[in-house]
Amino acid sequence: MNNIYINDIQTFMPNAPVSNDEMEEYLGYIGGKKSKAKNIVLRSNGIKQRYYVLEKGTEKPLFSNAQITANAIKKLENSTFKLGEVECLSCGTTTPDQLMPNHTLMVQGELGISEIETLSASGICLSGVNALKYLYYGIKSGELSNGIATGSEVVSVLLSAKNFEEESKQWELLEKNPSLAFEKDFLRWMLSDGAGAMLLQDKPNSDRLSLKIEWIDVLSYAGEMPTCMYSGCEMVDGKAVGWRGYSQHEIMEKSLLSIAQDVKLLNDNIVEYTVVKPLRKILAKRCITPEVVDYFLPHYSSQFFKDKLYVGLVEVGLEIPYEKWFTNLTKCGNTGSASIYIMLEELFHSGKLRKGEKILCYIPESGRFSTAFMLLEVV
């Protein structure tokens, strides 16, 4: 079996950073009113700035998802690697620009490269990891010698006020049901745009550091857990009813194409089903102790979960002190499937890494409670 090395990581963050005070100038005001949930959510998640593809004041997107992904990939080209050499392109996203063709094909079109293998991984935060793991399998088996994996999101277009116009006409109904109003508004202040790309090869860099992938474990608990984060459907008596069963007017009136989150379900279960249960299974087969880990990169959506995550690690015997944690959530925002790419890119190019160090990555997904853990070694 071949070893797999991440030999470069690049990102593309669209436009200028957006501060907390500016957010509604980009996303717009639903029903012409300022959000009641915004400040509550921002105090909890701790995010200070993020990036949007939107033009300020117009809600007009200046980039597509395919374009920001391609822009991140183009930065992987250097004196030793050209895009024409890539054998496989594997892209993950929650927010493709269209239902068909798939996201990876649109990215490939932006790049203008042909005769390559492609894979498009759908889902939420884990789509970027699943795209990465496809290449991991391909290179490990010897079927591929290289590939590019990506994670990207353009979520601001879905969160724009214009998408809630019909629903905002029923504002009085939402005002009478504050929990429903909060769930509809919650994610507008949690999510942002960005793209990351990794170059994977079967040999490490000869002139600079690489990250060797030791293992990637992905586990889903959808067989026992209900839907928690969703788009393109409505929850009716605990069941997801897809948008295709609604009229065009109902789709707009109910904002079915927006993103919603069952916040209580998230808070009650995210640690148990993305940390405690999966880590018990993973630790039973992987030789890993807190002393082995030099850097811990957690993808959590909010600083609210930081201490809860720590308690979960302690519970399974993997207590990693905060001084080993690395995240850029507060300045880059929660970019879903791109988040682990964006964190790793900053650490990879920071000049801090030393050969032999181990990096443990944690990527949860609240769609129906799934998780991934990944161990990398600096070589």
Segment 87-114, tens digit of pLDDT: 999 999 999 999 999 999 999 999 999 9
Segment 199-225, tens digit of pLDDT: 999 999 999 999 999 999 999 999 999
Give yes or no for residue 234 having a pLDDT over 90. yes
- Which of the 8 DSSP states describes residue 79? S
Segment 255-297, tens digit of pLDDT: 898 898 999 999 999 999 999 999 999 999 998 999 999 999 9
pLDDT confidence tier of residue 163, bands split at 50, 70 and 90: confident
DSSP string, 160-193: SGGGGHHHHTTHHHHHH-HHHHHHHHHGGGTB--
Are 334 and 48 contacting, i.e. CB atoms less than 8 angstroms apart? no
- In angstroms, the CA 228 to CA 183 distance is 11
The total of other beta-carbon atoms located within 10 Å of residue 297's CB is: 22
Domains recognised in the chain with CATH numbers: 5-204 (3.40.47.10), 213-226+261-378 (3.40.47.10)
Q: According to the model, what pLDDT value does residue 89 have? A: 98
Q: According to the model, what pLDDT value does residue 166 have? A: 73
The residue with tokens 């050969």 is: 355
- 153, 196, 192, 190: which is closest to 52 by C-alpha? 192
pLDDT confidence tier of residue 175, bands split at 50, 70 and 90: low
- The distance between the two most distant Cα atoms of the chain, rounded to a whole number of Å, is 64
- 221, 309, 228: which is closest to 264 by C-alpha? 228
Q: According to the model, what pLDDT value does residue 164 have? A: 81
